[in-house]
Structure 1
Amino acid sequence: MLSILITILVFAFTISLLVFIHEGGHYLVAKRAGVWVHEFAIGFGPAIWRRKWGETQYALRILPLGGFVRLAGEEAQSEEDQQVPSDRLYTAKPPLARVAIVLAGPLMNILAAVLLMIAYFSFFGTPFVEIAEVAADSPARSVLQSGDKLIELRGEQIYFPEQIQSLVQRSEGHPLEAVIDRGGQRLTVAVTPYRENPNGPYFIGIHFSFPLNQIAELPEGSGLARQGLQKGDIIQAVDGKPIGSWPEFLQEMSSVLQKQSQISLRVRRGQTRLDLPIDSSQIAPHELKQVKPQYEPVPATYPIVQQVKPDSFLAQQGVRPGDRLISANGEEISSLSNLLRALLRASGGDGHVRLVLQQGEETRSLEFSVSGMGMPEILQGLQLQVAQRKPGIWASIPIGFRQIRDTIVLLYVGIKQVITGQASASEAFRGPVGIANLLGWSLTRGFDYFIRLVALLSLVLGVFNLIPFPALDGSRVVFALYEMVRGKPIPAEKEGWVHYVGFIFLMGLIVLITWQDIQRLFRGEL
């Protein structure tokens, strides 16, 4: 209950701060242009605090989901506007002045995002971008491996996954040169982006969160579902071959489908291990892509134990702080992703693990069983050394701007997918519940995660408001530019109705997305 209360308070504070920055931009430029400001409010609904200084009333309202600056003459003139000198009405100002007032809000959010990003890089640094897994059908699987740390792509230093995605989208399918760190050795490889459909975005088939063998989505009526597989099942082996990651499962299943044979699928359901007989002829090839795994965020790490809780499972087996992980069951360990894969394979087989560690000149081997255990239970209390770098304050400035640029590219791709019907708005966006959940999650990961998320939310708020849709700032810019071309303004009443209809539509969309978020929350998908 306390964590829920903290999440709600953090959400209210964050949204109020971002709205204050946004509306503050409108307010400052409006004052500078000589426009009379009736009210500067944070939130909607009844006011819980208000005070008047000079000509402007300042208010905090009960619902911290937005805010507004009420300018004299902005909508159809009211009785209140009759008391305002005519030269101080919003509509009395030239179109360019009105454009400046409108753009000030989104630009303040974007500026705040840039400054927060620069501060983030300067004070916290950033982990290396590490590949958790490579998709089974990706061309990159021949040159990239789990645990590789991406240093450069297309000649650009890599600091965030979004940066990679942005470069891939701008590649137009041409091969990209990548510099990677693999176990301390620098390698240069070429990766070729691909599309899953002719009009879709480009991918290179790498995951930055580890795709566990646990099923998160399974279409009802699919061949696998009809033969007993369920959502939440953990895939352990295909025909007796232990599975260490989701791409390995897809690879084995693709091979099985070509043979059209009877197979055995070993799964863990709760605390029970089951062997399901599967007739592969009953499974359509496209069904495998519709089955989605559970993803586990995996930080970029070095194979050095930074901390292990004394009463944890691995501590009881003899793992100590300062240990360097060398191998597990003969598989080299260079990161947490490698360790996860080796443990998953062991869990799907006989459960036996032989872990080789080194500390100083001492090399030792630990042998234990993980049979019947889940990854959270095995890895509880283990913390590996994070592979991190701090670029410094001056280097952080261009990095911060690049991060903003790359995020804007991804926002454009997401909005384009919604407009073209490739994704629904409820899938592409998050409402208040989803945002609150993200903020709560970021606090559990650390203050640096929280700062970065606030920067991204500020950027999204700024960019979204630039869209020329009724009720958003972008549409007000369009009306002002139309007036410049036409030579006279559209009647305030008509413009007001356009924005009112847009506002109702946006509120309806927010309600729909919020309902979807609530459903995801109860299904454990948020």
Structure 2
Amino acid sequence: MTTFLLFVGTILFLVGIHEGGHFLAAKGLGIAVEEFALGFGPPVWARQRGETRYSVRIFPLGGFVRLAGESEAATEVPFERTYYGQPAWKRFVLSLCGPLANVVLAVAVAVGAILGFGLPRPQVAGLVPGKPAAEVLQVGDVILAVGGRPAWATDDVGARIRALAPQPVPFRIERGGEEMEVTITPTFSPADGRYLVGAYFLPQIVLAEIEALSPDAPLARAGFAPGDRIVSACGEPVSSFYDLYAIWEDGCRETVVDRAGDRLDLPLPDSVDDLLEGTSFRTLAPRYERPAPAEGVVLAFRQIADAMVGFVATIRGLITRSIPAGEAVAGPVGIAALLGEGMRAGPVVLLLLVALISLNLALFNLIPFPALDGARTVFALYEMVTRRKVSPRVEMVVHAVGFAILFGLLILITFQDLRRLFG
């Protein structure tokens, strides 16, 4: 129930901001607004104030601002105050203000989350035996800087290392409350086709200790039990799950387990799915720090920019079919599940997720597909460039068809989310 209320509240808030951008722009441009609505379907609350009707509707999956003259319904508003009575530049600006409001909100939420709660520092979550990092780093080391640049969990530490390779890479770390400088020289991995130091850098450390185990899990059938701590594998010491995984990838299937002080020899499964299925390993909480205000703002803008690049890459992948639609698209059920996970992960993750959803709402609406803001900007641009106006009736029909298609896709995506969630 909590996840459902969080989802409804988030969607209504983000849609309200989006439609509020259109609403304020319309008022500022002198266009009559007949209704400002949150949700679709029959109204559960409505109030008339001046020329505008404000309503909340039963299905909280969207919203709209109905402008005078935008539909074929009769209106008493003078033509010069209707939507189609406006010059193209005004309709262009009006169409952009909804997405712009969501982008501004995304930046504000990201900045507030980072400055208010901080970000996790990357930590050494695991080491690959025989690799350069294993000689210098220890599991649990906190990475403060890489190559002279501050390191945060939102950064790709591996990408920073590869950018400096093959030269030695300076690290500033914290170990046991003390800061120190170390240097690691990456080595080229033919199997991966890139330079690596042989360490897993993550915001939290997953221990090689079983916290929960389903009775029918493969590890349970192999003799493991909740509370078991894997201390070594094939003679190599194990400090974290990623240590164990790195040794497992090399073909090791023999472990020594500590169970309440007793040592047991237990085998690992051959499949990575069997290694993880029905098993939960104990996880240490991330370490959060607040960056300096200027750095926090830069980090927030970097998050937004990376999300924009990711959105464009996803759209390109969907068009070229290099990314399956089922993996890239989430509907209401999928978004609700993500928000639930974000809530359990903590306020920073939840707020950054809300910022990401707001940004995606803006970018999605800018796609030039009928019924979306992007299509309305295209119609306005066409008129501005050609000096020829598309018939309002034609534009209305185009948007109506687009809305029907989008509604159908929403239903299909929702069924897909349910199938993915419940198997």
| TM-score of the two chains, using structure 1 as the length reference | 0.63
Instruction: Look up the match of 1:41.
Output: 37
Aligned with 1:466 (options 366, 375, 394): 366
Q: Does 1:114 align with 2:107?
A: yes
CA offset digits 1:149-199 (Å, max 9, x no partner): 6666787644344x539979xx9xx98996655674553656989999xxx
Q: 1: CA distance between counterparts of 2:157 and 2:366?
A: 23
Task: Identify if the C-alpha distance between structure 1 residues 156 and 350 changes in structure 2 by more than 3 Å, giving closer, same or farther.
Answer: closer
CA offset digits 1:91-132 (Å, max 9, x no partner): 222212111111110011010010011111111111123475
Check whether the contact 2:151–2:157 (CA below 8 A) recurs between aligned residues.
Answer: no
The Cα of 1:73 is off from its aligned counterpart by 1.9
Check whether the contact 2:146–2:172 (CA below 8 A) recurs between aligned residues.
Answer: no
Aligned with 2:8 (options 2, 5, 12): 12
Instruction: Look up the match of 2:79.
Output: 86
**Secondary structure, counterpart of 1:41 in structure 2:** strand
RMSD: 4.8
Check whether the contact 1:165–1:410 (CA below 8 A) recurs between aligned residues.
Answer: no
Question: Which residue identity does 2:218 align to in structure 1?
Answer: R
Instruction: Look up the match of 1:490.
Output: 390
The Cα of 1:495 is off from its aligned counterpart by 1.0
**Secondary structure, counterpart of 2:46 in structure 1:** strand
Q: Does 1:67 align with 2:75?
A: no
CA offset digits 1:200-246 (Å, max 9, x no partner): xx999978599999xxxxxxxxxxxxxxxxxx999xxxxxxxxxxxx
CA offset digits 1:423-466 (Å, max 9, x no partner): 12221011111110111111122222221111111111111111
Count of residue pairs brought into register by the alignment: 396
**Secondary structure, counterpart of 1:90 in structure 2:** coil
Q: 1: CA distance between counterparts of 2:195 and 2:249?
A: 27
Q: Does 1:273 align with 2:273?
A: no
Q: Percent identity?
A: 37
Check whether the contact 1:43–1:61 (CA below 8 A) recurs between aligned residues.
Answer: yes
Q: 2: CA distance between counterparts of 1:178 and 1:152?
A: 10
The Cα of 1:476 is off from its aligned counterpart by 0.8
Question: Which residue identity does 1:78 align to in structure 2?
Answer: A
Question: Which residue identity does 2:395 align to in structure 1?
Answer: E
Instruction: Look up the match of 1:223.
Output: none
Aligned with 1:414 (options 314, 317, 337): 314
Check whether the contact 1:16–1:65 (CA below 8 A) recurs between aligned residues.
Answer: yes
Q: 2: CA distance between counterparts of 1:176 and 1:35?
A: 61
Aligned with 1:124 (options 117, 125, 132): 117
The Cα of 1:148 is off from its aligned counterpart by 7.5
Instruction: Look up the match of 1:353.
Output: 258
Instruction: Look up the match of 2:20.
Output: 24
The Cα of 1:471 is off from its aligned counterpart by 1.4
Task: Identify if the C-alpha distance between structure 1 residues 482 and 39 changes in structure 2 by more than 3 Å, giving closer, same or farther.
Answer: same
Check whether the contact 2:128–2:246 (CA below 8 A) recurs between aligned residues.
Answer: no
Check whether the contact 1:117–1:452 (CA below 8 A) recurs between aligned residues.
Answer: yes
The Cα of 1:47 is off from its aligned counterpart by 0.5
Q: 1: CA distance between counterparts of 2:195 and 2:398?
A: 39
Q: Does 1:164 align with 2:164?
A: no
5+ residue gaps in structure 2? 268-274
Instruction: Look up the match of 1:256.
Output: none
Task: Identify if the C-alpha distance between structure 1 residues 385 and 90 changes in structure 2 by more than 3 Å, giving closer, same or farther.
Answer: closer
Instruction: Look up the match of 1:440.
Output: 340
CA offset digits 1:243-265 (Å, max 9, x no partner): xxxxxxxxxxxxxxxxxxxxxxx
The Cα of 1:350 is off from its aligned counterpart by 5.0
| TM-score of the two chains, using structure 2 as the length reference | 0.76
Instruction: Look up the match of 1:501.
Output: 401
Q: Does 1:427 align with 2:327?
A: yes
Q: 1: CA distance between counterparts of 2:189 and 2:398?
A: 42
Task: Identify if the C-alpha distance between structure 1 residues 437 and 142 changes in structure 2 by more than 3 Å, giving closer, same or farther.
Answer: farther
**Secondary structure, counterpart of 2:222 in structure 1:** strand
Task: Identify if the C-alpha distance between structure 1 residues 6 and 470 changes in structure 2 by more than 3 Å, giving closer, same or farther.
Answer: same
Question: Which residue identity does 1:109 align to in structure 2?
Answer: N
The Cα of 1:352 is off from its aligned counterpart by 2.8
Question: Which residue identity does 1:273 align to in structure 2?
Answer: A
Instruction: Look up the match of 2:237.
Output: 331
**Secondary structure, counterpart of 1:386 in structure 2:** coil
Q: 2: CA distance between counterparts of 1:88 and 1:154?
A: 59
The Cα of 1:392 is off from its aligned counterpart by 3.1
Question: Which residue identity does 1:107 align to in structure 2?
Answer: L
**Secondary structure, counterpart of 1:73 in structure 2:** coil
The Cα of 1:271 is off from its aligned counterpart by 3.2
Q: 2: CA distance between counterparts of 1:165 and 1:23?
A: 39
Check whether the contact 2:148–2:171 (CA below 8 A) recurs between aligned residues.
Answer: no
Q: 1: CA distance between counterparts of 2:314 and 2:108?
A: 24
Q: 2: CA distance between counterparts of 1:401 and 1:391?
A: 14
Task: Identify if the C-alpha distance between structure 1 residues 344 and 117 changes in structure 2 by more than 3 Å, giving closer, same or farther.
Answer: same
